[in-house]
């Protein structure tokens, strides 16, 4: 029966130990035999002997064979030592495996992707993760080609989010289009129509009809995104000849604000986009409107722009921003966004110190003219004006949600439909007030 292994004896290699009676029997030391490393040191390099001159010393002569009873004893000891060494190597390997398993080193090449049933499926290696995610979303990615009737054509992308033919894309992809052609992943070509254009962001809904068995992409959430997680973009970079191209990267940053040019001659002014996902997954002309997906194969954003003065910097609209208009389209409602009618600056530490503000976060209702002079920041007759919000107020909460750099005022408001009455907390003259505001409908020309 083998003896139990004590904690203090669990090493990854045997510890040298002197057993003089075995050493003498094995090496012949008792009869004047030469010294050599014992089996307990087989895992260590043999000691190097030094010599002088040009010729190394003659190797030691092994002891002569003996017919005495010690011969049988020596062979028995050798067999025992070989068996012990073999058992030690097995235990050492097992210990190494257990140590690596405990440290998580053996798990670095695997990932677990949740399925719709709540179970987790092991996916080996990052490339397998990407392959699985693309297989899940790829069939729902479409290519959108448009013509303005004056000979100008453009190509973008879109994502089918409902199997009845509802497609989410960018506003600038279809704005001003007279004809829209939708190319499915299986190369079928269909006529598309504009259902509606978002008045808040660079988003639009396109509809196609008469398609059976249309694949729809699973929609994820963007509220829980973290910087550094895997991001995969799918689209048609550089035109119609490159449909469903895949690029990978990470979520580089969150909450980014950018300014882009207006989409056409009817909207020549610049447009501000807020709260965007920044990614280093390659985004090129033609990717616009396509999905940004995570490692589990769910859509977390809609790619919308790339930096013109740098490489590896692209932006996507968070999918949570798009959900309200996606739901409105499915319900047959006109696309609309809530509106209260204030101009504000989001407070951060720098603004607080520069303007000597009483609070470290919130939406400061404030506006200045071209000359830097303060002016009214509340639109006359707007929901905010009717509810009693004044220039200089700091909006601190909407329905209990604090307004801060990660929760901008318009981002919090957009989860509510026009006509809804919400409670808004404001800070004014050293105290807090709670006002009831009935949300209006955001005008199409409001940025």
Phi and psi, residue 317, nearest 5° = -80, 125
In the predicted model, is pLDDT for residue 445 greater than 70?
Answer: no
Give just the sign of the alpha carbon dihedral 413, 417, 418, 419: negative
Least confident of 67-71, 81-85, 385-389: 67-71
**pLDDT higher for 63 or 180?**
180
Residues linked to residue 333 through DSSP beta bridges, in sequence order = none
Query: Please, which pLDDT band fits residue 248 given cuts at 50, 70 and 90?
Result: very high
DSSP symbol at 131: H
- Cβ within 8 Å of residue 354, ≥6 positions away: none
The whole-angstrom separation of Cα 64 and Cα 69 is 14
Sheet holding 153-162, edge to edge: 189-191, 179-183, 141-147, 153-162, 166-169, 204-207, 193-197
In the predicted model, is pLDDT for residue 184 greater than 70?
Answer: yes
Largest Cα separation within the chain, whole Å, is 117
pLDDT digits (tens, 9 = 90+) for 136-149: 999 999 999 999 98
- Cβ within 8 Å of residue 373, ≥6 positions away: none
Q: What angle do CA 403, 407, 412 make, to 5 degrees?
A: 85
Query: Please, which pLDDT band fits residue 260 given cuts at 50, 70 and 90?
Result: confident
Average pLDDT, the chain: 78
CATH 3.40.50.2000 assigned to domain 132-330? The reply is no
Least confident of 19-33, 164-178, 282-296: 19-33
According to CATH, where is 2.40.10.120 located in the chain?
Answer: 132-330
Q: What percent of the chain has pLDDT over 90?
A: 52
According to CATH, where is 2.30.42.10 located in the chain?
Answer: 338-441
The whole-angstrom separation of Cα 96 and Cα 163 is 51
The whole-angstrom separation of Cα 194 and Cα 205 is 6
pLDDT digits (tens, 9 = 90+) for 314-335: 999 999 999 999 999 999 999 9
Residues linked to residue 123 through DSSP beta bridges, in sequence order = 111
pLDDT digits (tens, 9 = 90+) for 391-418: 999 999 999 999 998 788 988 998 898 9
Known catalytic residues are 172, 202, 288
pLDDT of residue 285: 84
Q: What is the mean pLDDT of residues 143-172?
A: 94
**pLDDT higher for 251 or 238?**
251
The whole-angstrom separation of Cα 114 and Cα 299 is 14
pLDDT digits (tens, 9 = 90+) for 273-297: 888 999 999 988 888 999 999 999 9
Helix axes 69-103, 20-27, angle to 10 degrees: 120
pLDDT of residue 81: 52
CATH 3.40.50.720 assigned to domain 338-441? The reply is no
In the predicted model, is pLDDT for residue 446 greater than 80?
Answer: no
Least confident of 25-34, 260-269, 351-360: 25-34
pLDDT of residue 119: 53
Query: Please, which pLDDT band fits residue 64 given cuts at 50, 70 and 90?
Result: low
In the predicted model, is pLDDT for residue 238 greater than 70?
Answer: yes
User: How many Å separate Cα 257 from the centre of its chain?
Assistant: 19
């Amino acid at each position: 029966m083998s003896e139990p292994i004590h904690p203090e004896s669990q090493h990854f290699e045997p510890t040298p130990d002197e057993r003089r009676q075995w050493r003498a029997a094995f090496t012949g030391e008792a009869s004047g035999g030469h010294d050599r490393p014992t089996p307990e040191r087989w895992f260590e390099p043999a000691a190097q002997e030094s010599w002088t001159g040009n010729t190394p010393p003659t190797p030691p002569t092994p002891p002569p064979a003996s017919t005495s009873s010690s011969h049988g004893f020596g062979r028995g000891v050798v067999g025992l030592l070989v068996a012990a060494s073999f058992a030690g190597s097995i235990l050492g390997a097992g210990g190494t495996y257990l140590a690596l398993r405990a440290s998580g080193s053996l798990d670095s090449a695997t990932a677990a992707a949740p399925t719709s049933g709540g179970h987790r499926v092991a996916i080996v290696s990052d490339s397998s993760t990407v392959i699985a995610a693309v297989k899940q979303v790829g069939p729902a990615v479409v290519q959108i080609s448009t013509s303005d009737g004056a000979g100008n054509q453009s190509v973008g992308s879109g994502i089918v989010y409902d199997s009845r033919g509802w497609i989410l894309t960018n506003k600038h992809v279809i704005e001003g289009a007279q004809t829209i052609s939708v190319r499915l992943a299986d190369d079928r070509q269909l006529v598309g129509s504009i259902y509606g254009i978002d008045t808040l962001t660079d988003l639009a809904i396109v509809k196609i009809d008469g398609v059976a068995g249309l694949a729809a992409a699973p929609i994820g959430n963007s509220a829980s995104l973290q910087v550094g997680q895997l991001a995969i973009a799918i689209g048609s970079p550089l035109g119609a000849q490159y449909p469903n191209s895949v690029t990978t990267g990470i979520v580089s940053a969150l909450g980014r604000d950018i300014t882009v040019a207006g989409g056409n001659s009817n909207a020549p002014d610049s447009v501000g986009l807020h709260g965007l996902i920044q990614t280093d997954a390659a985004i090129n002309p033609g990717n616009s409107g396509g999905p940004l997906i995570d490692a589990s194969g769910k859509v977390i954003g809609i790619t919308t722009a790339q930096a013109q003065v740098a490489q590896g910097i692209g932006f996507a609209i968070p999918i949570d921003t798009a959900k309200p208009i996606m739901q409105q389209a499915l319900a047959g409602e006109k696309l609309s966004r809530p509106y209260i009618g204030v101009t504000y600056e989001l407070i951060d530490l720098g603004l607080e110190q520069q303007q000597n503000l009483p609070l470290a976060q919130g939406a400061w209702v404030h506006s200045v003219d071209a000359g830097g002079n303060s002016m009214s920041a509340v639109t006359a007759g707007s929901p905010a004006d009717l509810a009693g919000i004044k220039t200089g107020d700091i909006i601190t909460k909407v329905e209990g949600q604090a307004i801060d750099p990660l929760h901008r005022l318009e981002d919090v408001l957009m989860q509510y439909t026009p006509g809804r009455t919400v409670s808004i907390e404001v800070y004014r003259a050293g105290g807090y007030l709670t006002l009831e505001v009935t949300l209006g409908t955001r005008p199409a020309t409001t940025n």
